[in-house]
Structure 1
Amino acid sequence: TRYGRLAEELAGAGYSVNAHDHRGHGQSIPEGASAGHMADSDSWNRIVEDAHGVNREIAKRHRGLPIIMLGHSMGSFVLQQLLFERPNDMVAAALSGSNGKPPPIAVVGKLLARIERVRVGKGNPSPVLQKLTFGEYSKPFEPARTEFDWLSRDPDEVDKYVADPLMGFAVSTQTWLDLLIALDRISKPSNVAKVPKDKPLYLFAGDQDPVGDNGKGMKNLYDAYKRAAIFDVRLKLYPNARHEMLNETNRQEVTEDLIAWCDEIVAARA
């Protein structure tokens, strides 16, 4: 898998590693269904509850052991919601490639997603939505070698992504609509305030990550958690790095920083 290297590093440091396969992605695409379509309705809350279910199973299999969650990209927004809805799922959380508030396109995007859902169907992707979102991400890196250069400075990692049939697909209009609605809810100060004050949080990203508005979005998220009076919030922005920090040219440094933080969390509970 694309994160097998990370799993091996974590396992080598003494951690049991479990991954949540999002519905509509990876091995969780139903036969005959389109990749990227998570559900016909309320898909976002379903995926959040899926993650909660995985956490419950992990807790059963590893009774008494602390669970530290890592959420990257879309998974980071799932984790943001879990932090205020299911905070007992984890003792600490690391968020990678995230953002603290909906992008400006989100307001128009919800209306456009509703229009496109009628035009192409809720289970199908929209080239228009794809162009307005992911289609914009490589522009700062032009002349780009591929349309996914925004992911990493490592061309081999980008090529692996491009060659993987389970990566790079456009998600359905329903998925887009539910995600955009969720981003509003997740970023509300009243919800951020529900995150337990003693929950350690580690935010990390590249300062050239378009998903996180080149670091500004992660700073917004950091500031939101600080305003909510969470005691231990840390932010690490890696210079010149892009979206997938764990597949970046400095991934060893990033992985070591993550493991050091995890070790600190575990040691504090000993």
Structure 2
Amino acid sequence: MPHVREHMLDGTHGPLAVHEWPHPAPRYLALVVHGYGEHAGRYGELAAVLTGHGAAVYGPDHVGHGRSAGERVLIEDFEDVVTDVHGAAELARAAHPDLPLVLLGHSMGGLISARYAQRYGAELSALILSGPVIGAWELPGRLLALPKIPDTPISPAALSRDPAVGAAYAADPLVWHGPMKRPTLQAFTRTLETVARGGDVGPLPLLWLHGDDDRLVPLPGSRIGVERLAGDRLTERIFAGARHEVFHERDKKAAFAELLRFLDEALPRLP
């Protein structure tokens, strides 16, 4: 695994932790946007693949997540989270000016990345969405209809067919293992609508990766959002039998290979 540095930025709601997996002479920048309840530190293996491909990799912990400030898993406005991710991108650009920037978002991070592309798409060279919360996602509405949000954490078994992934997730003290919070669910609902109305990403190359046995973010609902967001350069790869985290699955090497193949095509002028 590559060495990890940590930076602390002034985020929209207090100190924002940003992980950096450095490269001595990067060809491009990759910004990893993590999902709900987790943190960027879970993406060390993905970062190793990307640094091996020539990227300097950065990943912020969102407000209320990981080592960043804020009440745990409380997000009242995803626009603020997009602004924080943009701050991490500016940190990367300050260290490595003029390099192409690739944005990779997983799950909730896919929603954040989709909105980022709508706001800052001209600054991106490629967009990758993994199991993205986008389109028709029924969970927020279902939970908001209840008088009390049930204390039902995410099942580790829903993440991957690899039991070691679930065990590490369950034991991780930086992962949230409690119930979802009403303001966060309301923010999900608003931002899903905002992204649906926000237009497509035009010529930006977009890679969509999803497991066809994803029970947390079912594939058919995401397809609606991805096809609405995509311009004319969409590549999709659906993994048979895979659950929510394709980069942590038993066949993760296929997901990594698909990612690098896409980047080689999307960034053809890299030396």
Query: TM-score with structure 1 length normalisation?
Result: 0.78
Counterparts of 2:194 and 2:144, CA distance in 1: 13
Quote how far apart the aligned CAs of 1:225 are. Answer: 3.5
- 8 Å CA contact retained: 2:47, 2:57: yes
1:202 pairs with one of 207, 221, 227:
207
Question: What's the counterpart of residue 148 of structure 1?
Answer: 156
Q: Return the structure number with greater relative CO, CA threshold 8 A, min gap 6.
A: 1
Question: What's the counterpart of residue 62 of structure 1?
Answer: 96
Query: How many residues are matched?
Result: 230
Letter in 1 for 2:83: E
- Note the residue ranges of structure 2 that are not aligned, 5 or more in a row: 1-40
- 8 Å CA contact retained: 1:68, 1:90: yes
- Of structures 1 and 2, the larger Rg is shown by 1
Aligned alpha-carbon RMSD (Å): 2.1
- 8 Å CA contact retained: 2:136, 2:224: no
Greater alpha carbon shift after TM alignment, 234-243 vs 217-226: 217-226
Letter in 1 for 2:206: L
Letter in 2 for 1:165: P
- Note the residue ranges of structure 1 that are not aligned, 5 or more in a row: 117-125, 136-146
Query: TM-score with structure 2 length normalisation?
Result: 0.77
Q: Identity percentage over the alignment?
A: 26
Matches within 5 A, 1:1-270: 1-30=41-70, 34-38=71-75, 42-107=76-141, 109-110=143-144, 112=146, 126=149, 128=150, 131=152, 147-170=155-178, 171-188=180-197, 191-193=198-200, 195=201, 197-213=202-218, 215-225=219-229, 230-268=231-269
Counterparts of 2:196 and 2:216, CA distance in 1: 15
Counterparts of 2:162 and 2:256, CA distance in 1: 16
- 8 Å CA contact retained: 1:246, 1:255: yes
Point out the structure with the larger helix share. Answer: 1
- 8 Å CA contact retained: 1:219, 1:235: no
Point out the structure with the larger strand share. Answer: 2
- 8 Å CA contact retained: 2:135, 2:222: no
Runs (4 or more) in structure 1 with deviation over 6 Å come to none
Question: How far does the alpha carbon of each residue in 1:153-204 deviate from its partner, in whole angstroms, 9 at most, with x for none?
Answer: 000111000000111433432222212221122123xx124x2x21100000
Letter in 2 for 1:67: L
Question: How far does the alpha carbon of each residue in 1:117-176 deviate from its partner, in whole angstroms, 9 at most, with x for none?
Answer: xxxxxxxxx4x2x54xx66xxxxxxxxxxx321100000111000000111433432222
- 8 Å CA contact retained: 1:52, 1:89: no
- 8 Å CA contact retained: 1:203, 1:218: no
- 8 Å CA contact retained: 1:67, 1:89: yes
